[in-house]
Each structure stands twice: as C-alpha cells, then as structure tokens.
Structure 1
Amino acid sequence: MNTTKERKFKPEKLFEPRDFKRPEIQDKQYLEIGAGKGMHAMQFAEANPSKHLIAIERTRAKFDVFSERSRELALNNLLPVHADAIPWVVHALPPESLEGVFLLYPNPEPKNSSQRWLNMPFFEFLISRMKPNATLVLVTNIVDYFKETTEVNRDVWKLKAEESEVPKDSARTHFEIKYLARGENCYQLLLTKPHNYKTSFDEWAI
C-alpha cells in the first residue's frame, strides 16, 4: 500500500532558504529541479526566448559552473538558483504559476525510496504550483525507477501520462549524453495536469 498521501506535507514548517529572494514570476514560467551544471537549462532558454526558466541546483560546485556559464550567455529568461528545491518552491511559487517542470535524471535515492520525487508528499504541493495543462517531464536511465514512477502516478497522483524512450541522439544533459553513448536506454515520463485537478494546497500561499 502506498502511503504517500497519508504522510501529509506541511509547507508551513519550512523556513525560507538562506539569502532567499522571491523571484518575479513570468507568464510562461518553467521550473527545473536538479539543474546540475545547467546544460539543459541554457539550451532551453536559448531555444525558447519567449519562455522563462528557473533552474535550481543544490550542489555548490555544480551551481558555480552553471552560474558562470549562464552569465557569459546573458540569457534574460533564465534564473539560476542555488538552493534546496523544496523550501525554495514553497516560499517562491504561488499556486498555478508554472507551465512546466523538468526533473531530468534525478537521484534515484537507492537507500531511501521515500525520497524519490513522486513518493514524497511534497509532490502534491509541486502539482499545486502547476497550471492546468502544465506538463512535468521526468527522465531516468533506471528502468525499475521508471516503472515505479509510472505506477505511483497511476495509483496516487493520476496525472495524464505519456511514456517514451529517449531518442539516441538526444543531448539535454551530461548524464543523458553519457548514458546514451554507452548504449543504455533512457526513459521519459511526460505528466500533464488535467483541468479541474484538485490538491490540498490549491489555496495555500505564503
């Protein structure tokens, strides 16, 4: 039995991240969690000048590389953020503010499956920040993780789901390039939030 929803998320318990600055949310606003060195984030911002992306990375060394490269590109539709994503999202994003979310090759948390994104109560809060018809893209090279994710969505979150294999010439992240180059399969789950979808946090805001 999946107890994800029973372990209720409590956003009011989370403090603002250190040096927190609330961003200006744009009309076509996207979010990437776990941006690494920013390869996908910078590609996305360059290819979609009318869309805005906030890209969060927790690891200092990776974020410093990302931040420096993004400054060189001077992309005014990309905001790199160094923070833990969960408290940052709670304090920064109002309900129904995102057009899309990217979770590209997240840590599979082999020692603690409850920390996988769709297994966390926080995932309901993240859905509440998405607009109707907004999409969430999760990609992994671990087939068991992919299968678990699709099952949890089917049983718990019930977002519209499209499953696919990543094309062999795709190059969104350094991980993706490495996995595909050595012949591994990578798997993508595209989740879409239906109209009239309800969460416990639809009216919750700082």
Structure 2
Amino acid sequence: MRMFRPEVFKAPRDFERPDYFERLSDDSSLKVALEIGAGVGLHALTFAAQNPEVHLFAIERTAEKYQKFEQSHTIQPLVNLTSIHADAIPWVIHAVPPRSLAQVFILYPNPEPKNAAQRWFNMPFMQFLLSRMQTGATLTLASNIEAYLDEAEEQLNTVWYLPYERTQVTTARRTHFEIKYMARGEPCGQLLVTKPENYQTPFDAWTM
C-alpha cells in the first residue's frame, strides 16, 4: 500500500472548517460521527434523531442526491446533523482533526467494479481516516455484494490489522439501497471495525 499524501488535496469549494471540532478539546463528552456517501439522507436523519448526544457530519458528493437530502433536512431540522456537499476525501483532510471521530459509516458504497483501487479499504486514504478516529471508535461498512465484503475483510486482516465483526443485516432499514435490496431478498452484510488502543498511523499528529 503506497503512502497517502494529504497535502496534495485542495480544500473543497467554499470550504469552511466546522467550529464544532474546536469544542472537542474543551468538552470530552462531545461525540462526533461521520457518514461518507449519505445519499438522500435517510440514515443520517434517522441516526441523528435517535442519537441526540452525537453530532453527525454526513457527506454526499452527488448534487441531485444532496439536494434531496437538504430538502428532507429542512422538513426535519436536527441541530446535531450537518449535511455536506463535497467529495469526502478532501473534506475530511481539511475539516477533521486527529482522534476526533467516535463512529464512521460507509453504507452501500459504489462497488467500483472496474477500478478496485477506488474501493474504500483498498485506498491509502484509509490510513488517514483511521488517524481521525478515536481509540475504540467504530467503522461500519455495509454492502449487498459478498465479494466486496470478502475483499474488505482480507484487507483488514493483511493490511490494516484491525479487529472486526462480520454479520448479516437482518432487520435494519438504514438506507434506500438497503430497503430495496432486502425487499428483493438479497442478502446484505456488514463489517463493524473497531480501532484498538495504541493503534498507530503516520498521520496521528498531522493537521492541514
């Protein structure tokens, strides 16, 4: 795995660093979650409503999906949810300080069938994302493609050396994709990854 180079990524257009992260150093009780690829926001809105003690930053790159997300957020305003229209990688680099995330969600990402290097657990960016997670933080990856989860599991065992639990999704209805797949009877699975104590990355003290 080649070394990730965060310094080459420019900030997203009209970027403003959330001041919420500045409060973390003063209040250890604050919890922050990140969702990458929030789509139209079903999981983000549900999670934020059910977890008022956690502030969720939910990122969606596609303009059409983000607009629908924003419309739903306007109807259901939640002070602990921030929706972001940006590419996740530069936004995380410029916005998120080290050891600040308690949870990360990557739910039904594009499987990138023609470009394996763009799958999340195959990307050097993963080492940077792990540096932004607290000790004990969890990352949830869900997919309806068994081979995608198999590959991610292999990477966890041979590249990232992280503990995880692999389970089948049974009753969750977190995203529209999950609802569609389960209505068809397609099996959905997930990996729940935990960042252990003393886990180190090259970016543990790196800030933009």
For the aligned pair, the TM-score class normalised by the smaller chain equals over 0.9
Separation in 2, partners of 1:20, 1:162: 35
Q: How far does residue 74 in structure 1 lie from its aligned partner after superposition? A: 1.2
Query: Residue in 2 aligned with 1:185?
Result: 187
Query: Residue in 2 aligned with 1:137?
Result: 140
Q: How far does residue 112 in structure 1 lie from its aligned partner after superposition? A: 0.3
TM-score by length of structure 2 reads 0.95
Query: Residue in 1 aligned with 2:62?
Result: 59
**CA deviation string 1:23-64 (max 9, x = no partner):** 122520000000000000000000011111000000000000
Query: Residue in 2 aligned with 1:161?
Result: 164
**CA deviation string 1:81-103 (max 9, x = no partner):** 00000000000000000001000
Separation in 2, partners of 1:86, 1:34: 11
Gaps in structure 2 of 5+ consecutive residues: 25-29
TM-score by length of structure 1 reads 0.96
Q: How far does residue 73 in structure 1 lie from its aligned partner after superposition? A: 1.0
Q: CA RMSD in A?
A: 0.7
Separation in 2, partners of 1:198, 1:133: 13
- 1:15 aligns to 2:15 (yes or no): no
Query: Residue in 2 aligned with 1:112?
Result: 115
Give the letter for the 1:132 counterpart: T
Q: How far does residue 199 in structure 1 lie from its aligned partner after superposition? A: 0.1
Separation in 2, partners of 1:170, 1:133: 23
Give the letter for the 2:87 counterpart: D
- Of 155, 174, 177, the residue aligned with 1:175 is 177
Separation in 1, partners of 2:108, 2:182: 13
Query: Residue in 2 aligned with 1:205?
Result: 207
Query: Residue in 2 aligned with 1:99?
Result: 102
Q: How far does residue 72 in structure 1 lie from its aligned partner after superposition? A: 1.6
Separation in 1, partners of 2:148, 2:10: 30
Give the letter for the 2:174 counterpart: R
Q: How far does residue 8 in structure 1 lie from its aligned partner after superposition? A: 1.2
Query: SS state of the match for residue 156, structure 2?
Result: helix
Separation in 1, partners of 2:162, 2:202: 15
Separation in 1, partners of 2:101, 2:116: 26
Identity of aligned residues (%): 56
Give the aligned length.
200
Separation in 1, partners of 2:86, 2:103: 19
Query: Residue in 1 aligned with 2:155?
Result: 152
- 1:49 aligns to 2:52 (yes or no): yes
Separation in 2, partners of 1:19, 1:94: 19
Separation in 2, partners of 1:158, 1:70: 37
Q: List 4+ stretches of structure 1 deviating above 2 A.
A: none
Gaps in structure 1 of 5+ consecutive residues: none
